[in-house]
Amino acid sequence: MPGLRELICTYVAVFAFFVSASTVDAELVRGGGSKKSDCISVFDVPSANKPAPPKAPKHVDCVDGDLACDIDGERNGRCVFDVSICLNSDSFIPDCTPEFVDEVVIDHAEDNGDPKFDTEFQALQQRVNLLEFPDNLNLNDCTLVSSITVRLKGPNGANKMSNNKKVLRMESDGTATSRSKTDRDKIKFKCRAEGDRVYLPLDLYDGTFDRIGQQVFAASCAVSACHDDESNAGGLNLLPINAYGQLVGVAPFNAAAAGDGLLRVDGSGDFDNSFLYRKITGDLLAAYGSQMPFGLAPLDPEIIDLIRLWILGDGLTGPAPQTGWVAGTTGE
Q: Which of 213, 252, 321, 331 binds ligand HEM (CB under 6 A)?
A: 252
Quick one: 43 or 288, whose CB is closer to ligand HEM? 288
Q: Does residue 262 belong to the site contacting ligand HEM (CB under 6 A)?
A: no
Considering only residues 273-332, where is the footprint of ligand HEM by CB under 6 A? 275-276, 279-280, 289-290, 292-296, 299
Put residue 269 in one of left, alpha, beta given phi > 0 → left and psi -120 to 50 → alpha.
left
Q: Which of 223, 243, 306, 311 binds ligand HEM (CB under 6 A)?
A: 223
Is the Cβ–Cβ distance between 72 and 78 less than 8 Å?
yes
Q: Which of 60, 176, 236, 326 binds ligand HEM (CB under 6 A)?
A: 236
Q: Which stretch binds ligand HEM (CB under 6 A): 41-49, 176-184, 206-214, 232-240?
A: 232-240
Continuous H helices in 248-331: 255-259, 275-281, 301-312
Ramachandran angles phi, psi of 248, nearest 5°: -75, 120
Q: Which of 78, 227, 237, 242 binds ligand HEM (CB under 6 A)?
A: 227
Q: Does residue 271 belong to the site contacting ligand HEM (CB under 6 A)?
A: no
Q: Does residue 59 belong to the site contacting ligand HEM (CB under 6 A)?
A: no
Beta pairing, strands 28-29 & 60-63:
unpaired
3-class DSSP assignment, residue 93:
coil
Separation CA 67–CA 193 (nearest Å):
14
Q: Does residue 265 belong to the site contacting ligand HEM (CB under 6 A)?
A: no
Separation CA 308–CA 270 (nearest Å):
9
Q: Does residue 211 belong to the site contacting ligand HEM (CB under 6 A)?
A: no
Ramachandran angles phi, psi of 29, nearest 5°: -115, 120
Quick one: 199 or 275, whose CB is closer to ligand HEM? 275
Considering only residues 177-206, where is the footprint of ligand HEM by CB under 6 A? none
We find the least distance from the C-beta atom of residue 212 to ligand HEM, in angstroms, to be 9
For the chain, the distance separating the N- and C-terminal CA atoms, rounded to the nearest angstrom, is 78
Q: Does residue 243 belong to the site contacting ligand HEM (CB under 6 A)?
A: no
Using CA atoms of 320, 322, 325, 327 in order, give the dihedral in degrees to the nearest 10. Answer: 0
Strand partners, 198: 160
Core vs surface per residue 67-77: b (16+ CB within 10 A) or e: eebbbeeebbb
We find the least distance from the C-beta atom of residue 154 to ligand HEM, in angstroms, to be 16
Q: Is 32 exposed, middle or buried (0-12, 13-18, 19+ CB in 10 A)?
A: middle
Q: Which stretch binds ligand HEM (CB under 6 A): 36-44, 79-87, 129-137, 230-238?
A: 230-238
We find the least distance from the C-beta atom of residue 250 to ligand HEM, in angstroms, to be 8
Quick one: 69 or 238, whose CB is closer to ligand HEM? 238
How many residues make up the chain in this entry?
Answer: 332
We find the least distance from the C-beta atom of residue 254 to ligand HEM, in angstroms, to be 3
The one-letter code for the residue type at 327 is A
Query: Total number of residues binding ligand HEM (CB under 6 A)?
Result: 27
Is the Cβ–Cβ distance between 39 and 65 less than 8 Å?
no
Q: Does residue 218 belong to the site contacting ligand HEM (CB under 6 A)?
A: no
The one-letter code for the residue type at 159 is N
Q: Does residue 117 belong to the site contacting ligand HEM (CB under 6 A)?
A: no
Q: Which stretch binds ligand HEM (CB under 6 A): 102-110, 132-140, 145-153, 271-279?
A: 271-279
Binding site for ligand HEM (CB under 6 A): 216, 220-221, 223, 225-227, 233-236, 252-254, 264, 275-276, 279-280, 289-290, 292-296, 299
